């Protein structure tokens, strides 16, 4: 005789809105209004709202996301699209600072994030498809360019789009948060001029396809030097396009240092903090004191600045605040709140953040010895 042991498993049902309503003694419509925080015709007193919320907590009710989204016609989710490209991705400090601002603001506004990371991918079509399928209420585009693959498809898929750190010079019908790169370079040069520097070199990254912000910073440096009637004393590493990134940058710095005492730069402005720190390393290898003999200014005001010895003077690029502002702009679009008299279907608004000089230990009066 074969005996079998059968274990009776209790099938515990998931708590429902009806269970909450029965527990409180109200209608299901009232329970739904409170739980979904909806704005319908059902008026709920504060005391009744509190009882419903307490009942939901006691029985462990968890709202059904799909049903709630269908009822609201909203997912309470924002997409964050990081395009393909070199030196991009969620693991990079640059994008990470923008994402920090986006994340904190979304948490405050009770929105979730769908991270759509095409960085490093040769095929971004799947990422773009998620946006086109309306799986999110709106999308934030991080540091996209006019030639970003699939950008036009993204723009055609939804009106609820805001670009953050978008620095294309040509006007595009796209709401964006930008940074005044030209003002940043002018601020750096002006600071050094006030310290008595007249021989100032600019170090730009050596890349074949320079970004709009790279071009804007280089052009602003040239314009700033012209404004102060100063000569350009060293080549940009960006001109050495046949060389690798680090080799080109090092060759530019070493060339500037080989010009002799009367022509050698007494100060460098770097495209970003990383290049500024690498410039400091080259100067240290050559036995040149910073800031005793050579001053250096970076751009971004990244955490790297405080790690350097001496700490790096930099121009603040407020990436976290820009991420926050992008979320505010996107939510205003989603909630159809007009800004500055613009209609809901208008695009092309631009919020431009200004630079700020952060003084630390790498700039001093020009060396005349």
Do residue 302 and residue 200 come from a single domain?
yes
Do residue 258 and residue 312 come from a single domain?
yes
- pLDDT tens by residue, the chain, 369 residues: 434 443 344 445 778 889 999 999 998 888 888 887 765 566 788 899 999 999 988 988 876 654 555 455 677 889 898 887 655 666 677 888 999 999 999 999 889 998 887 766 555 566 666 666 667 888 999 988 887 877 777 787 777 899 999 988 766 678 999 999 999 999 999 999 999 999 999 988 766 678 889 899 999 999 999 999 999 876 565 444 444 455 666 777 877 788 888 888 999 999 999 999 989 998 998 899 999 999 999 999 999 999 999 999 999 999 999 999 999 999 998 886 444 444 455 677 889 999 999 999 999 999 886
Q: Are 230 and 185 in contact (CB under 8 A)?
A: no
Token representation of residue 37: 């925080």
Do residue 248 and residue 101 come from a single domain?
no
Strand 350-353 to 356-358 pairing: unpaired
Does residue 323 lie within any of the structural domains? yes
Do residue 248 and residue 270 come from a single domain?
yes
Q: What is the pTM of this model?
A: 0.76
Does residue 60 lie within any of the structural domains? yes
Q: Are 148 and 305 in contact (CB under 8 A)?
A: no
Q: How far apart, in whole angstroms, are the C-alpha atoms of residue 93 and residue 96?
A: 5
Beta strands (DSSP E) in 220-334 are 267-270, 295-300, 313-316
Q: What is the CATH number of the domain that holds 30?
A: 1.10.260.40
Do residue 171 and residue 295 come from a single domain?
no
Its domain, for residue 35, covers: 17-71
Q: How far apart, in whole angstroms, are the C-alpha atoms of residue 103 and residue 124?
A: 23
Q: How far apart, in whole angstroms, are the C-alpha atoms of residue 161 and residue 357?
A: 31
Does residue 361 lie within any of the structural domains? no
| Domain count of the fold of the chain | 3
Q: How far apart, in whole angstroms, are the C-alpha atoms of residue 144 and residue 137?
A: 19
Do residue 45 and residue 142 come from a single domain?
no
Q: Of 71, 89, 116, which residue is a domain's last?
A: 71
Does residue 262 lie within any of the structural domains? yes
The SS3 of residue 299 is strand
Do residue 155 and residue 171 come from a single domain?
yes
Do residue 30 and residue 45 come from a single domain?
yes
Do residue 260 and residue 243 come from a single domain?
yes
């Amino acid at each position: 005789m074969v005996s079998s042991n059968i274990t009776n498993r209790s099938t515990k049902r998931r708590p429902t809105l009806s269970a909450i309503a029965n527990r409180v003694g109200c209608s299901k419509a009232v329970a739904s209004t409170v739980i979904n925080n909806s704005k319908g015709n059902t008026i709920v007193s504060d005391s009744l709202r509190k009882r419903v919320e307490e009942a939901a907590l006691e029985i462990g009710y968890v709202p059904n996301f799909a049903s709630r989204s269908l009822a609201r016609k909203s997912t309470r989710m924002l997409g964050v699209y990081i395009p393909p490209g070199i030196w991009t991705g969620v693991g990079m400090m640059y994008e990470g600072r923008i994402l920090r601002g986006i994340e904190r603001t979304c948490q405050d506004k009770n929105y979730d994030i769908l991270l759509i990371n095409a960085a490093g991918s040769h095929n971004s079509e799947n990422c773009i498809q998620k946006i086109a399928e309306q799986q999110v209420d709106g999308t934030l585009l991080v540091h996209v360019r006019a030639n970003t693959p699939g950008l036009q498809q993204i723009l055609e898929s939804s009106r609820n789009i805001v670009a953050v750190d978008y620095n294309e010079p040509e006007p595009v019908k796209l709401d964006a948060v930008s940074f005044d790169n030209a003002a940043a370079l002018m601020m750096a040069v002006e600071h050094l001029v006030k310290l008595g520097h007249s021989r100032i070199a600019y170090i730009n990254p050596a890349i074949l396809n320079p970004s709009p912000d790279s071009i804007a910073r280089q052009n602003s440096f040239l314009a700033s030097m012209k404004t102060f009637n100063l000569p350009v004393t060293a080549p940009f590493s960006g001109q050495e396009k046949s060389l690798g990134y680090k080799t080109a940058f090092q060759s530019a710095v070493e060339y500037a240092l080989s010009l002799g005492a009367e022509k050698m730069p007494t100060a460098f402005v770097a495209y970003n903090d990383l290049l500024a720190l690498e410039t400091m390393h080259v100067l240290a290898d050559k036995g040149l004191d910073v800031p005793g003999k050579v001053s250096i200014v970076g751009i971004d005001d990244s955490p790297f600045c405080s790690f350097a010895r001496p700490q790096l003077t930099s121009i603040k690029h407020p990436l976290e605040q820009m991420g926050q502002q992008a979320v505010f702009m996107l939510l205003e679009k989603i909630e159809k709140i007009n800004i500055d008299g613009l209609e809901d279907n208008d695009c092309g608004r631009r919020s431009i953040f200004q630079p700020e000089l952060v003084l630390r230990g790498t700039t001093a009066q020009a060396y005349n010895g």
